[in-house]
Amino acid sequence: MYPYQITSLAQYHEVYQKSIKDPEGFWAEIAAHFSWRKPWDKVLSWNFKTPEIKWFEGGKLNITENCLDRHIEKSGDTPAIIWEPNNPDSPTRTITYRELLFKVKQFANVLKNNGVKKGDRVCIYMGMIPELAIALLACARIGAIHSVIFGGFSARSISDRLQDANGEYVITCDGSYRGNKEIALKPIIDDALVNCPFVKRVIVFSHTNTPVSMHKGRDVWWNEEIEKVEEQGNPDCPAEEMDAEDMLFILYTSGSTGKPKGVVHTCGGYMIFANYTFVNVFQYNPGDVYFCTADIGWITGHSYIVYGPLSAGATSLMFEGIPTWPDAGRMWEIVDKYKVNILYTAPTALRSLMSYGVEVVEKYDLGSLKVLGTVGEPINEEAWHWYNENIGKKRCPIVDTWWQTETGGMMISNLAGVTPSKPSFATLPIPGVQPVLVDEKGAELEGNNVSGNLCMKFPWPGMLRTTYGDHERCRLNYFSTYDNLYFTGDGCLRDEEGYYRITGRVDDVLNVSGHRIGTAEVENAINMHTGVVESAVVGFPHDIKGQALYAFVICSEHPRDEQLMRKDIAETVSSVIGAIARPDKIQFVSGLPKTRSGKIMRRILRKIAEGEMANIGDTTALLDPAVVEDIKTGKL
């Protein structure tokens, strides 16, 4: 039990009311349960116009003291991280809090020896191994700002991010394992660094023993650097004193326009929010084994594999592989093997596993499970019921957690077993979170049984503070659509009981297998291919991925081999962004449906992509309505 854990519905309502009436008092009371070097001067100052948001200003802390040092006395021997390798026959690893602190200090000293200082940006590109978590925490220990890049991104995506953040340090692996694949990561870093001469040091962890080229004067081996630290003979590394509002990390995420934005989170507020939501939503209790299947390359991994669980002294199970290898029972095997109590995964994973039938599930004992969670996209009712019946055996509450990279932690979700669940509804806001629905003009829709755009009217500690290097972009993206509100980009329904159901993005951001992909980004990538004149990308429903990408492409001349051209375009997208952004369908067209002002009418393309040819809607605003017929019939 944590002192701020809510344990009944009545208490939830009571706490929620308090959090609205006196948000500062509410959060200050929670924050008091953490380790601060110096208390804050002011709980909150905020202005959504500029925007400027500060929580616990003047407070000094280090998040790693909260995630590690403070647990040692009582729970030094508690497993902090249990690691399950990709290959079920490879050895597993268990790292206690005491060992994790030791390793974090050691690697923090490696960073220092290599010149990394407080405020420096360190880019991390690794597979799902404990050293990834150690790398994050070691950065945080010395006040360096980490920027994790998901292992599926291309060299170009890496160099874009390195340049944007002016990251002078990189931490990577020789390679990583995912299913039956061995993915070489270091060569991708080498390609990325051709355009990043400012990178001073690359620290390489050897995991797969894949041969790599080590660049003299720039690249060093993780293990050799650790040996040097051991030779220096001082295993300690005092934690850097950070202001609550100092940057903790940058995480790039796709928006509706252009390049990904570097979402910035700070030390104090983020920590408290990640911890509070972790403890309350999952109803974590000390001793529980908690398994989040996300990748640390995404926000879910940051908040709910690393910072939330570790700040709560929890046992966080980390899995290197994928749910379908060696077979579709892999996740259930892990639940059985480690007697997992809390499982947090994505609807796309569930939909994919559903298709293999319940026989694979029935081979394992899932009796240890107490709580199930989902995140990343709306969960369809079919997947919800499958999860409830076949995994939870109807005895585990399912928490449907709605949140974003920008929110830092869960915003709307039921609390497991405490507040009611409702299939496909994220249900009620977390205490301290004040959602509002607005119409197109920004007028607040009050009462129940309304649908609109989801906004927040009051700050919460985990919210983004800026987009790295471009504060105006942060303002424009999130704070300018509606006056005095944070705009999420999601559409939402509030039903007759006041429960929230997220209906999906209302901007040009797609959600493919729970990964956020900006259509503009994919179009830019497609347009880089020689022979492509213009393109438009929209989403269409996909049974497993939720949404998939449909690209309409105009070529300068008719491709001699359409199939080859499609592959070339997909390859281009892979190399510019990464394989996750490869379009599922590519249709060559002679024109795109544009308004007189030249804006592509995506609504029409979406209908065509969905196969709703008969129901295309009003096309009178188009410059040339005939293109619609050509696209429908596939005429070039």
Dihedral sign for Cα atoms in the order 110, 113, 114, 118 = positive
Closest contact distance (angstroms) between CB of 515 and ligand 7RM is 7
Closest contact distance (angstroms) between CB of 350 and ligand 7RM is 12
Interface region with ligand 7RM, contact rule CB under 6 A, candidates 274-282, 329-337, 485-493, 551-559: 485-493
Interface region with ligand 7RM, contact rule CB under 6 A, candidates 97-105, 484-492, 521-529, 577-585: 484-492
311's tokens: 């700040």
Dihedral sign for Cα atoms in the order 149, 256, 270, 81 = negative
Distances (CA, A) of 527 to 344, 421, 486, 569: 38, 45, 32, 9
Dihedrals φ, ψ of 93, to 5°?
A: -135, 140
Q: Is residue 194 a contact partner of residue 162, using CB atoms and an 8 Å limit?
A: no
When the beta carbons of 62 and 300 are compared against ligand 7RM, the nearer one is 300
Determine which residue in the list 511, 513, 535, 547 makes contact with ligand 7RM, applying CB under 6 A. Answer: 511
What residues between 235 and 254 interact with ligand 7RM by CB under 6 A?
253
Q: Does 4 bind ligand 7RM (CB under 6 A)?
A: no
Closest contact distance (angstroms) between CB of 435 and ligand 7RM is 13
Size of the site for ligand 7RM (CB under 6 A): 22
81's tokens: 């991280």
When the beta carbons of 61 and 426 are compared against ligand 7RM, the nearer one is 426
Closest contact distance (angstroms) between CB of 620 and ligand 7RM is 31
Q: Does 583 bind ligand 7RM (CB under 6 A)?
A: no
Among 77, 543, 179, which Cα is nearest to 354's? 543
When the beta carbons of 106 and 405 are compared against ligand 7RM, the nearer one is 405
Q: What is the dihedral of CA 218, 219, 223, 224, to 10 degrees?
A: -50
CA distance 56 to 48: 17
Q: Does 151 bind ligand 7RM (CB under 6 A)?
A: no
When the beta carbons of 170 and 517 are compared against ligand 7RM, the nearer one is 517
Q: Is residue 95 a contact partner of residue 315, using CB atoms and an 8 Å limit?
A: no
What residues between 363 and 422 interact with ligand 7RM by CB under 6 A?
375-378, 400-405
Closest contact distance (angstroms) between CB of 374 and ligand 7RM is 6
Cα angle: 275, vertex 280, 283; to 5 degrees = 115
Cα-only R_g, the chain = 24
Closest contact distance (angstroms) between CB of 412 and ligand 7RM is 8
Closest contact distance (angstroms) between CB of 182 and ligand 7RM is 27
CA distance 581 to 341: 34
Closest contact distance (angstroms) between CB of 537 and ligand 7RM is 17
Closest contact distance (angstroms) between CB of 511 and ligand 7RM is 5
CA distance 83 to 306: 13
Closest contact distance (angstroms) between CB of 109 and ligand 7RM is 33
When the beta carbons of 299 and 609 are compared against ligand 7RM, the nearer one is 299
When the beta carbons of 66 and 401 are compared against ligand 7RM, the nearer one is 401
- Residue 157: Cβ within 10 Å count: 25
Burial of 99 (0-12, 13-18, 19+ CB in 10 A): middle
Dihedrals φ, ψ of 325, to 5°?
A: -135, 140
CA distance 390 to 7: 26
Residue span 129-148 as binding mask against ligand 7RM, x where in contact by CB under 6 A, dash where not: --------------------
When the beta carbons of 509 and 589 are compared against ligand 7RM, the nearer one is 509
Cα angle: 171, vertex 173, 178; to 5 degrees = 130
Closest contact distance (angstroms) between CB of 296 and ligand 7RM is 13
Q: What is the dihedral of CA 18, 23, 28, 30, to 10 degrees?
A: 50
Terminus-to-terminus CA distance in the chain, angstroms? Answer: 65
Contacts of 428 (CB under 8 A, 6+ apart): 12, 16, 412, 413, 414, 419, 498, 499, 500
When the beta carbons of 23 and 378 are compared against ligand 7RM, the nearer one is 378
When the beta carbons of 362 and 497 are compared against ligand 7RM, the nearer one is 497
3's tokens: 């002192």
When the beta carbons of 237 and 416 are compared against ligand 7RM, the nearer one is 416
When the beta carbons of 113 and 503 are compared against ligand 7RM, the nearer one is 503
What residues between 289 and 328 interact with ligand 7RM by CB under 6 A?
298-300
Residue 252 per-residue DSSP state:
E
Determine which residue in the list 173, 192, 474, 502 makes contact with ligand 7RM, applying CB under 6 A. Answer: 502
When the beta carbons of 151 and 559 are compared against ligand 7RM, the nearer one is 151
When the beta carbons of 110 and 492 are compared against ligand 7RM, the nearer one is 492
Q: For tokens 């300690």, name the residue.
A: 236
When the beta carbons of 107 and 478 are compared against ligand 7RM, the nearer one is 478
Which residues share a beta bridge with 201?
169
Q: Does 260 bind ligand 7RM (CB under 6 A)?
A: no
Q: Does 481 bind ligand 7RM (CB under 6 A)?
A: no
Dihedrals φ, ψ of 158, to 5°?
A: -65, -45
Strand, helix or coil at 472? Answer: helix
Dihedrals φ, ψ of 219, to 5°?
A: -100, 135
Closest contact distance (angstroms) between CB of 277 and ligand 7RM is 11
What residues between 513 and 542 interact with ligand 7RM by CB under 6 A?
516
Dihedral sign for Cα atoms in the order 467, 410, 98, 371 = negative
Closest contact distance (angstroms) between CB of 556 and ligand 7RM is 35
Question: What residues line the site for ligand 7RM (CB under 6 A)?
Answer: 253, 298-300, 375-378, 400-405, 426, 488-490, 502, 505, 511, 516
